[in-house]
DNA sequence: GACCTGCTGCGGTATG
């Protein structure tokens, strides 16, 4: 034993490495870890957290002796696994301990060895642990020896489904091994250390410690504003060029921006600049990383890919192109230059929009105050479902009560009710994912149909078995095509929210017009386009969700505006930009924007409500306005949402004011309806349903469990019902003032720079089919039921009456009300003989001779059929034989003697031969009714 | 939403 408590062999190795002193975090972590406490270590990157955890554990392994596998090291990235394995191995190999790594890209040969020589230390991902517990029937026996678990970069997963998964896995491991192993978490700065600790420590009864390094690493920051010239791109590139001090990391908030800026920097003659993001090949990424380490790269343009702790060598400067979305990512990104020996890290935020300066300053202020976002986690049920299945895989047959006990021992699921768990089991059993014999659970028949080993998938819903272990969702993407040639890809959700036929898109430097969107095939047809109006700025990426801390911090900046302007980090230009931004308010003597005032302004065809507001509340309000607008106006509207307010493309009426008049439960219902109609809800349903074994279309009665869960998750991620209700309440009480202004305000203009959200009535045809089933309705009745404007419905119904339609409809005249009614074409016959519509199909004079005129689908040559209504009534089936074609383009009644009849006759378009008799009865009844009454 | 992250085990063949 050494003076600092470490085993003498570990201490000797430290001397060998010339580690005279430990970092502060290493010192602080030593005691709690050596004492066997569960420990959460919180410190910025570059403080030596890994060693802070590893050294005392290695020391304990020496002291206490250990059987393989005794230490499990979990980290979220494959690249980190490789790094860490090498780092740990330096110590471990000298202590006679074996280290192994496990992730999807480790060669099979290396993986196979672990059964022959079982490692003392295993480094893997959450998914790797899932695989081992569920499926590695032999190796998992070694997990019974685990005494320590380290979770690295825990801030990255604590708020995600991956986190929820891992925390249940740890409980499963505890139950399987029968050991209350020691848990150690390594985290960057977070706002809620206690929550992070609780989720990690779970049901462990060990004492707990949180080791937190508060000392902020010193750094220098400059907030700059790009000079406004003619071209944002070249202006931005120039600004970046000035900022580069090799080697520099340049962070952007989208992949597109890295590419676009790279192109522009090359145009300026800069070389040795690389690009790094998730969509480029592994080789290119490796090249970029290596040239950084070798000091060859001047700079690398990157997205979040380089935010985590992958070793990239010494970085001189960090440039943030436009403000990062959160304080946490700001600190992480700046921390990438932390390994710089001697000098303090240098950072620079380059602002493009004027409000960027506000955000940059806010992020900086927050970081200085030590305020950081708090990752939260709900208790997603799809994760529970997967873990139930995982346990069934592991044990072949397992008692339901035991599964319930293990899952609820995890902190996140401690409140999961037994009844809800039972309902979930019922549902899984119904979908054949599991089968039950008494209280015993076994695997159901559907399991290996969904997660299959077969290469040629049986059906479209099946997934590879390997995907079962991961809760990372692969979103659908639309393929953009021109003449069947792929041009690019766009995330499905972006398409649903923002893109419609006729839009102009810029892809690969070229301008295209969207000609068709095939939802089923997930493809979009493009045609080349010339310069035009209404280009959709995909690149603007204003959809970046921003920290919920921003609105309040911006408010506090504005509340003491003159002082805020004195901030050291602002350069001359950005300072001027900020005063210019606020000038319009000051000159008209209006209060600077804050959360208790909403400026209502009409800009172009939009009504903008500008204020400082939580993004989720703005999103909820935008969707509500969109819902109200689409049910009363047309589908051709859009809304926007941002921390600077929200807007709706309706100016004739003040829709927010109308919302204020909706009270109580009706308001809650309206919010719910608005959310249920958003594409976000649809995409969450799609994401989670497979975990429950549900395939195909969801049925509100059968699948209420998935639907309710999807709604819960949608609201949690994107909306905020409670805060929105409170916002509306404050508006009503006047606690938030509404002020109409003209002309527009600067933050009102800022709202307009955010991408428009457009309504997407998914499966409107199927919706209509469901409503029409068993009934015949007028347009206004349908509009009422569906909250979709009659005009939009009419267009759809007219498409649906065509021969190639999946849900074919037709229409007839209601003789009593003289309105058109729509119904399913196959049900027309039923209505013709029903009491409800008796008069509409009962001619007054059955012996009158009439002439039916039939125009075929193509061409204009009409045929005529002479008939008496009674003839039809006698035998409608027989009458159809007189019709000379299967499909009729237009049907009407003519009378060569009486041209009035011709004018009065209703016309029926795109009808099928077998319904002609009934439509002729309808036409005769109508005409005679007009003539005789 | 923008972005990112991950993804069979085991024991058996046949071959050099």
Q: Does the nearest atom of strand B lie within 7 Å of A713's Cβ?
A: no
Q: Does the nearest atom of strand B lie within 7 Å of A467's Cβ?
A: yes
pLDDT at position A461: 84
pLDDT tens-digit readout, A772-817 = 988 999 998 988 878 777 888 888 899 899 988 888 999 999 999 9
CA–C1' distance A604–B10 (Å)? 67
Q: Which of A155, A560, A526, A576 is nearest to A357 (CA)?
A: A576
Calpha distance A399→A388 (Å, rounded)? 11
pLDDT tens-digit readout, A469-481 = 999 988 778 888 8
Is residue A265's pLDDT more than 50?
Answer: yes
DSSP state of A467: G
Q: Using omega within 30 degrees of 0 as the cis cutoff, is the peptide bond preceding A223 cis?
A: no
The strand B neighbours among A residues 347-376, by Cβ under 7 Å, are none
Size (chain A), residues: 933
Q: Which of A123, A117, A10 is nearest to A61 (CA)?
A: A10
A53, A58, A60, A61 alpha-carbon torsion, rounded to 10°: 140
Calpha distance A712→A708 (Å, rounded)? 6
Calpha distance A601→A654 (Å, rounded)? 10
Domain with CATH 1.10.3380.30 in chain A: 381-469
pLDDT at position A544: 74
Q: Helix axis angle, A400-408 relative to A381-395, nearest 10°? A: 130
Per-residue pLDDT band for A633 (boundaries 50, 70, 90) equals low
Point out the nucleotide closest to A140 (alpha carbon to C1′): B9
Look at A212-216, A253-257, A741-745, A802-806 and tell me which has the smallest mean pLDDT.
A212-216
Q: Does the nearest atom of strand B lie within 7 Å of A255's Cβ?
A: yes
Q: Does the nearest atom of strand B lie within 7 Å of A452's Cβ?
A: no
The total of other beta-carbon atoms located within 10 Å of residue A414's CB is 13
User: How would you classify the pairing of strands A606-610 and A645-648?
Assistant: antiparallel
Residues 6+ apart with CB under 8 A from A658: A628
Instruction: Specify which of A98-107, A343-352, A490-499 reaches the highest per-range mean pLDDT.
Output: A98-107
Query: What percent of chain A lies above the pLDDT cut of 70?
Result: 96
CA–C1' distance A454–B13 (Å)? 20
Is residue A365's pLDDT more than 90?
Answer: yes
Mean pLDDT value of segment A362-367 = 95
pLDDT at position A636: 77
Tally the C-alpha atoms within 13 A of residue A165's C-alpha that lie toward its C-beta.
Answer: 27
CA–C1' distance A149–B11 (Å)? 30
Look at A416-430, A486-500, A878-892 and tell me which has the smallest mean pLDDT.
A486-500
Kindly report the bases of strand B lying within 7 A of a protein C-beta atom. 1-11
pLDDT at position A541: 45
CA–C1' distance A925–B6 (Å)? 67
Query: What percent of chain A lies above the pLDDT cut of 90?
Result: 62
The strand B neighbours among A residues 183-222, by Cβ under 7 Å, are none
pLDDT at position A181: 98
Classify each residue of A485-524 as buried b or exposed e, where b means 16 or more C-beta atoms within 10 Å of its C-beta: eebbebebbbbbbbbbeebbbebeeeebbbeebeeeeebb
Calpha distance A394→A396 (Å, rounded)? 6
Mean pLDDT value of segment A59-65 = 93
Look at A359-373, A486-500, A572-586 and tell me which has the smallest mean pLDDT.
A486-500
CA–C1' distance A400–B8 (Å)? 26
Q: Who has greater pLDDT, A895 or A854?
A: A854
pLDDT at position A227: 86
What average pLDDT does chain A have?
90
Q: Does the nearest atom of strand B lie within 7 Å of A812's Cβ?
A: no
CA–C1' distance A384–B13 (Å)? 39
In sequence order, what DSSP letters do the residues of A286-300 get, joined into one string? HHHHHHHHTT--SEE
Look up the protein residue whose alpha carbon has the minimum distance to the C1' of B9: A136
Are A58 and A95 contacting, i.e. CB atoms less than 8 angstroms apart? yes
pLDDT tens-digit readout, A838-874 = 999 999 999 998 999 999 988 888 899 999 999 999 9
pLDDT at position A507: 67
Look up the protein residue whose alpha carbon has the minimum distance to the C1' of B1: A543
The total of other beta-carbon atoms located within 10 Å of residue A17's CB is 11
In sequence order, what DSSP letters do the residues of A424-461 get, joined into one string? HHHHHHHTTSEEEETTEEEE-TTHHHHEE--SS-SSTT
Q: Does the nearest atom of strand B lie within 7 Å of A462's Cβ?
A: no
Per-residue pLDDT band for A338 (boundaries 50, 70, 90) equals low
Which residues pair with residue A853 across a beta bridge?
Answer: A864, A892
Strand (E) or helix (H) holding A224: strand A220-225
Q: Does the nearest atom of strand B lie within 7 Å of A875's Cβ?
A: no
Q: Does the nearest atom of strand B lie within 7 Å of A541's Cβ?
A: yes
Per-residue pLDDT band for A216 (boundaries 50, 70, 90) equals low
Are A254 and A279 contacting, i.e. CB atoms less than 8 angstroms apart? no
Q: Does the nearest atom of strand B lie within 7 Å of A455's Cβ?
A: no
Q: Is A742 helix (H, G, I), strand (E, B) or coil?
A: coil
Q: Which of A447, A364, A439, A431 is nearest to A134 (CA)?
A: A447
Are A346 and A333 contacting, i.e. CB atoms less than 8 angstroms apart? no
Sign of CA dihedral A30, A32, A33, A36: positive
pLDDT at position A867: 93
pLDDT at position A272: 86
pLDDT at position A683: 86
Is residue A532's pLDDT more than 70?
Answer: no
Point out the nucleotide closest to A156 (alpha carbon to C1′): B5
Calpha distance A485→A525 (Å, rounded)? 10
CA–C1' distance A625–B8 (Å)? 49
Is residue A340's pLDDT more than 60?
Answer: no
Phi, psi of A184 (to 5 degrees): -130, 130
- Compute CA distances A192 → A39, A158, A326, A369, A371, whole Å: 15, 11, 15, 15, 10
The strand B neighbours among A residues 669-708, by Cβ under 7 Å, are 679-680, 683
Look up the protein residue whose alpha carbon has the minimum distance to the C1' of B3: A304
CA–C1' distance A693–B14 (Å)? 39
Strand positions, DSSP E, A594-676: 597-603, 606-610, 639-642, 645-648
Q: Does the nearest atom of strand B lie within 7 Å of A280's Cβ?
A: no
Is residue A682's pLDDT more than 50?
Answer: yes
Sign of CA dihedral A510, A513, A519, A523: negative
pLDDT at position A540: 44
Sheet of A208-212, strands arranged across: A99-102, A121-124, A71-74, A148-151, A182-187, A38-42, A208-212
Q: Which of A490, A493, A528 is nearest to A511 (CA)?
A: A528
User: How would you classify the pairing of strands A850-856 and A887-894?
Assistant: antiparallel
Sheet of A317-321, strands arranged across: A220-225, A346-351, A317-321, A248-251, A299-302, A273-276
Q: Does the nearest atom of strand B lie within 7 Å of A160's Cβ?
A: yes
The strand B neighbours among A residues 84-123, by Cβ under 7 Å, are 102-105, 111, 115
pLDDT at position A386: 97
Calpha distance A103→A758 (Å, rounded)? 41
Is residue A148's pLDDT more than 90?
Answer: yes
Q: Which of A695, A699, A131, A209 is nearest to A469 (CA)?
A: A131
Calpha distance A648→A638 (Å, rounded)? 6
Q: Does the nearest atom of strand B lie within 7 Å of A666's Cβ?
A: no
Does the domain at A381-469 match CATH 3.40.50.920? Answer given as no
CA–C1' distance A280–B15 (Å)? 38
pLDDT at position A543: 58
CA–C1' distance A304–B3 (Å)? 6
* CATH number for the segment(s) A8-212: 3.40.50.300
Per-residue pLDDT band for A550 (boundaries 50, 70, 90) equals very high
pLDDT at position A487: 73
Point out the nucleotide closest to A285 (alpha carbon to C1′): B4
Per-residue pLDDT band for A509 (boundaries 50, 70, 90) equals low
pLDDT at position A539: 42
Q: Is A323 helix (H, G, I), strand (E, B) or coil?
A: coil
Residues 6+ apart with CB under 8 A from A126: A74, A76, A157, A162, A165, A166, A169
Q: Does the nearest atom of strand B lie within 7 Å of A544's Cβ?
A: yes
Look at A365-374, A509-518, A678-687 and tell me which has the smallest mean pLDDT.
A509-518
CA–C1' distance A171–B14 (Å)? 43
Q: Who has greater pLDDT, A580 or A901?
A: A580
Is residue A724's pLDDT more than 90?
Answer: yes
Is residue A533's pLDDT more than 60?
Answer: no
Q: Is A875 helix (H, G, I), strand (E, B) or coil?
A: coil
Q: Does the nearest atom of strand B lie within 7 Å of A575's Cβ?
A: no
Calpha distance A391→A407 (Å, rounded)? 10
pLDDT at position A222: 93
Is residue A538's pLDDT more than 70?
Answer: no
Calpha distance A854→A891 (Å, rounded)? 5
The strand B neighbours among A residues 480-499, by Cβ under 7 Å, are 491, 493-494, 496-498
Is residue A341's pLDDT more than 50?
Answer: no
Q: Does the nearest atom of strand B lie within 7 Å of A254's Cβ?
A: yes
Alpha carbon distance, N-terminus to C-terminus of chain A: 111
Which residues pair with residue A299 across a beta bridge?
Answer: A248, A273
**Which option is the CATH number for A220-369: 3.90.230.10, 3.40.50.970, 3.30.360.10, 3.40.50.300?**
3.40.50.300
Which residues pair with residue A527 across a beta bridge?
Answer: A513
Q: Using omega within 30 degrees of 0 as the cis cutoff, is the peptide bond preceding A420 cis?
A: no
Q: Does the nearest atom of strand B lie within 7 Å of A279's Cβ?
A: yes
Domain with CATH 3.40.50.300 in chain A: 8-212, 220-369
Calpha distance A163→A76 (Å, rounded)? 10
pLDDT tens-digit readout, A156-172 = 999 999 999 999 999 99
User: How would you classify the pairing of strands A463-464 and A451-452?
Assistant: parallel
CA–C1' distance A372–B3 (Å)? 19
The total of other beta-carbon atoms located within 10 Å of residue A589's CB is 6
Calpha distance A692→A892 (Å, rounded)? 52
Q: Does the nearest atom of strand B lie within 7 Å of A386's Cβ?
A: no
Strand (E) or helix (H) holding A399: strand A398-399
The dihedral region occupied by A727, where left means phi > 0, alpha psi between -120 and 50, and beta the remainder, is alpha
Q: Does the nearest atom of strand B lie within 7 Å of A136's Cβ?
A: yes
CA–C1' distance A462–B10 (Å)? 24
Calpha distance A430→A931 (Å, rounded)? 60
Are A500 and A516 contacting, i.e. CB atoms less than 8 angstroms apart? no
Phi, psi of A912 (to 5 degrees): -100, 150
Calpha distance A249→A263 (Å, rounded)? 16
Sheet of A597-603, strands arranged across: A639-642, A645-648, A606-610, A597-603, A737-740
Residues 6+ apart with CB under 8 A from A215: A24
Q: Does the nearest atom of strand B lie within 7 Å of A132's Cβ?
A: yes
């Amino acid at each position: 034993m050494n003076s600092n408590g470490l085993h003498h062999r570990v201490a000797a190795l430290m001397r060998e490495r010339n580690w005279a002193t430990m970092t502060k975090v290493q010192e602080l972590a030593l005691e709690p870890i050596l004492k066997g406490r569960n420990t959460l270590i919180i410190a910025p990157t570059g403080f030596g957290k890994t060693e802070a955890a590893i050294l005392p554990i290695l020391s304990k392994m020496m002291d206490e002796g250990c059987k393989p596998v005794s230490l499990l090291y979990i980290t979220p990235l494959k690249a980190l696994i490789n790094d860490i394995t090498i780092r740990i191995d330096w110590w471990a190999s000298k202590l006679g301990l074996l280290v192994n790594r496990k992730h999807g890209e480790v060669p099979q040969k290396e993986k196979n060895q672990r059964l022959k020589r079982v490692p003392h230390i295993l480094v893997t991902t959450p998914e790797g642990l899932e695989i081992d517990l569920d499926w590695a029937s032999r190796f998992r026996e070694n997990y019974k020896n685990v005494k320590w678990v380290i979770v690295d970069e825990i801030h990255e997963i604590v708020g995600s489904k991956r986190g929820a998964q891992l925390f249940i896995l740890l409980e499963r491991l505890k139950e399987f091994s029968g050991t209350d192993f020691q848990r150690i978490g390594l985290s960057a700065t977070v706002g809620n250390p206690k929550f992070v600790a609780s989720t990690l420590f779970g049901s462990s009864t060990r004492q707990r410690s949180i080791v937190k390094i508060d000392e902020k690493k010193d750094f220098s920051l400059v907030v700059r504003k790009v000079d406004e010239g003619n071209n944002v791109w070249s202006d931005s590139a120039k600004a970046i060029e000035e900022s580069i001090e090799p080697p520099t990391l340049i962070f952007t908030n989208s992949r597109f921006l890295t590419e676009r800026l790279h192109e522009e920097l090359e145009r300026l003659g800069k070389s040795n600049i690389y690009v790094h993001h998730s969509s480029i090949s592994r080789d290119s990424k490796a090249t970029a990383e290596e040239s950084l380490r070798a000091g060859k790269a001047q700079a690398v343009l990157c997205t979040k890919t380089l935010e985590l702790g992958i070793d990239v060598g010494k970085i001189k400067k960090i440039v943030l192109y436009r403000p990062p979305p959160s304080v946490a990512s700001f600190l992480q990104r700046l921390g990438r230059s932390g390994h710089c020996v001697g000098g303090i890290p240098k950072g620079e935020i380059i602002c493009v929009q004027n409000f960027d300066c506000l955000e940059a300053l806010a992020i900086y202020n927050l970081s200085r105050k030590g305020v950081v976002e708090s990752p939260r986690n709900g208790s997603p049920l799809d994760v529970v479902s997967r873990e139930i299945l995982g346990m069934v895989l592991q044990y072949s047959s397992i008692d339901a009560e035991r599964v319930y006990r293990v899952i609820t021992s995890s902190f996140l699921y401690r409140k999961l009710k037994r009844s809800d768990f039972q309902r979930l089991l019922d549902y899984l059993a119904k979908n054949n994912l599991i089968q039950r014999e008494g209280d015993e659970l076994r695997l159901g028949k559907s399991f290996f149909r969904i997660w299959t080993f077969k290469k040629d998938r049986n059906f479209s819903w099946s997934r590879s078995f390997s995907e079962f272990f991961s809760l990372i969702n692969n979103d659908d993407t639309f393929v953009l095509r021109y003449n069947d040639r792929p041009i690019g890809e766009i995330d499905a959700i972006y398409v649903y929210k923002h893109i419609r036929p006729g839009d102009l898109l810029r892809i690969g430097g070229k301008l295209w017009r969207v000609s068709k969107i095939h939802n089923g095939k997930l493809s979009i047809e493009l045609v080349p386009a010339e310069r035009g109006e209404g280009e959709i700025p995909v690149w603007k990426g204003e959809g970046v969700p921003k920290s919920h801390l921003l609105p309040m911090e911006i408010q506090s900046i504005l509340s003491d505006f003159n002082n805020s302007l004195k901030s050291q980090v602002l350069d001359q230009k950005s300072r001027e930009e900020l005063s210019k931004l606020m000038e319009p308010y000051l000159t008209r003597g209006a209060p600077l924007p804050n959360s208790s005032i909403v400026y209502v302004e009409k800009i172009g065809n939009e009504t903008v409500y500008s204020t400082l507001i939580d993004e989720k509340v703005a999103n909820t309000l935008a969707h509500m306005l969109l819902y109200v607008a689409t049910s009363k106006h047309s589908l051709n509207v859009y809304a926007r949402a941002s921390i600077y307010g929200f807007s709706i493309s309706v100016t004739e009426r003040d829709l927010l004011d109308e919302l204020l008049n909706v009270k109580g439960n009706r308001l809650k219902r309206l919010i719910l309806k608005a959310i249920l109609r958003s594409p976000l809800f649809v995409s969450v349903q799609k994401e989670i349903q497979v975990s429950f074994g549900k395939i195909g279309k969801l049925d509100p009665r059968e699948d209420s469990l998935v639907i309710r869960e999807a709604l819960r998750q949608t609201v949690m991620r994107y909306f905020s019902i409670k805060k929105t209700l409170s916002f509306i309440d404050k508006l009503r009480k006047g606690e938030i003032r509404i002020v109409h202004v003209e002309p527009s305000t600067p933050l009102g203009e800022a709202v307009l720079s955010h991408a428009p959200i457009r309504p997407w009535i998914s499966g409107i045809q199927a919706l209509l089919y469901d409503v029409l089933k068993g009934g015949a309705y007028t347009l206004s009745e349908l509009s009422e039921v569906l909250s979709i404007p009659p005009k939009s419905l009419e267009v759809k119904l007219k498409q649906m009456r065509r021969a190639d339609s999946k849900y074919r409809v037709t229409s007839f005249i209601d003789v009593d009300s003289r309105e058109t009614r729509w119904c399913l074409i196959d049900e027309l016959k039923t209505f013709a003989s029903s009491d409800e519509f008796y008069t509409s199909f009962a001619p007054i004079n059955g012996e009158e001779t009439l002439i039916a005129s039939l125009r075929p689908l193509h061409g204009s040559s009409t045929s005529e059929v002479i008939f008496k209504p009674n003839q039809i009534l006698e035998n409608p089936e027989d009458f159809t034989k007189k019709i000379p074609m299967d499909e009729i383009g237009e049907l009407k009644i003519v009378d060569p003697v009486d041209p009035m009849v011709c004018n009065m006759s209703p016309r029926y378009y795109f009808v099928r031969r077998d319904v002609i008799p009934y439509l002729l009865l309808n036409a005769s009844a109508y005409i005679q009714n007009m003539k005789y009454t």
